[in-house]
Structures are given as structure tokens and as C-alpha cells.
Amino acid sequence: MKKILMAILLFFTGAIHAQNVPVELMLGNEYLNYQHSIHRKIATGSRFGWMHISNMVRRYETNTLKGGRPNEMMNQGYLTVRIHPKITFMGGFFYTPVTDIKVSLVTQFAHKTKNWFMIVSPRFDAGKKNAYELFGLLEYQPTLTTKTKLYSRFQFMTNHGNSGHNRSYQQLRIGIDKKAIQFGIGITIDQYGTSTDITTNSGLFIRKLM
């Protein structure tokens, strides 16, 4: 636990030098969840860049005999090329302790307006066992006062392989945006395996764009 918290602290410190890095920590009733997404251009105005995505789950109970599940860690790293203002191709790697490292190819569709932000990303992972994934995100941030905005987000992921369903989740966040810091309540619904075992984690989150 101390190592995870130290890694999070170091990332918060180092991420200040990156661009548009959403960093989120959620303290739930079942587990502590940390996630970030870094996307940087190789040079100002360049169509090329790189991306790193990380998601860590630290559970309070990992003993399966007591109804627990293992901790989770996911990392993705990509080289990116923007072929259209709303379309980016990405190629790189996907890693979890369960799947090991896989070659990963992604097409990302993104659209942003004054209050809305949307991403849809189909992904293919090549390895001993191929996998197919669909990721989506929808944010709505209307102005409430001169100093605050509403922050709301729906995020989902579903991953399938040759044997059927691997892993899915749906996340909902609702809170307040004040001085580029978002905080509020959240819930995550997780599904695992072909039998789609379901767990729910609800609690408080804090998020910041570095």
C-alpha cells in the first residue's frame, strides 16, 4: 500500500510538466482506485505524440475465501498520430499481470464542445490470446457560477476474447469543478469473466487536470 501511495505522489509531482493530464483518485467502499491518462505531442503543432494510460485497484479484501478479489494494475503505452482533428491512430502495448504484455492497436474518436467532451476508442490486442475492447467516455461540465462548474462523467470499457467476455466496467462521477479540481461522489460497476461476476464500488473521488 505504501509503495502504491508513493508512486501516486511521485506521479502527481512529475505530471505537472505534462499537458492535460487527468489524474483521479477514488476512495470507495470496496477498493482504492487510481487512474491517469497522459497524451503529449512530440513537438508543438506536430501530428505525432505518445500516450500513457494507467489504472490501479487496491482492494481492502483480497482473500477469495472471504469474498475478495486480487488487486489490479493496467498500463498502456502508445505512439500516436492524428490523421484528423477528431481521429487519432495509436500503436503500442497493453499490460496487466493477468494478460502479460500484448501488442495493442487503437483508433480514437474524440469530440469536444464548450460543455461536452466525448471519446470512443475501439482497440485490438494481439498475443497468445487475442482480445477486442471498446472504451467510451462522456463528460458534461456546464457553468454553475463564475467560479464553479458541474462535473459529470460516464465512462465504460468492455473487453472480449476468443472465449467470450473478459472484463468490463461502467463508471459514473458527479461533482463540482472548482479551480480545475473536480471532486464528488462516484460509483464503478465491475464485471469479470465469462460468468460476468459483478462487484460495485462507491465512494468519493478527487480529480485534477495537471
CA distances from 202 to 27, 95, 199 (A): 8, 26, 10
CATH code for the domain in which residue 189 is found: 2.40.160.40
Q: What is the rounded distance in angstroms from the CA atom of residue 167 to the CA atom of residue 171? A: 14
Q: Report pTM.
A: 0.87
The pLDDT of residue 7: 47
Q: What angle do CA 73, 20, 157 make, to 5 degrees?
A: 40
Q: CB of 89 within 8 A of CB of 106?
A: yes
Q: What is the rounded distance in angstroms from the CA atom of residue 106 to the CA atom of residue 92? A: 9
Q: What is the rounded distance in angstroms from the CA atom of residue 11 to the CA atom of residue 208? A: 12
The pLDDT of residue 21: 87
The parent domain of residue 57 ranges over 2-209
The pLDDT of residue 19: 56
The pLDDT of residue 37: 95
How, if at all, do strands 22-28 and 181-192 pair?
Answer: unpaired
Single-letter code of the amino acid located at 140: Y
- Name the residue with cell 463540482: 176
Number of domains in the chain: 1
Task: Per residue of the chain (210 residues), give pLDDT as tens.
Answer: 444 444 444 444 444 444 568 999 999 999 999 999 999 999 989 999 999 999 999 999 999 898 899 999 999 999 999 999 999 999 999 999 988 999 999 999 999 999 999 999 999 999 888 999 999 999 999 999 999 999 999 999 999 998 899 999 999 999 999 988 999 999 999 999 998 899 999 999 999 987
* C-alpha closest to that of 109 among 138, 142, 78, 77: 138
The pLDDT of residue 6: 46
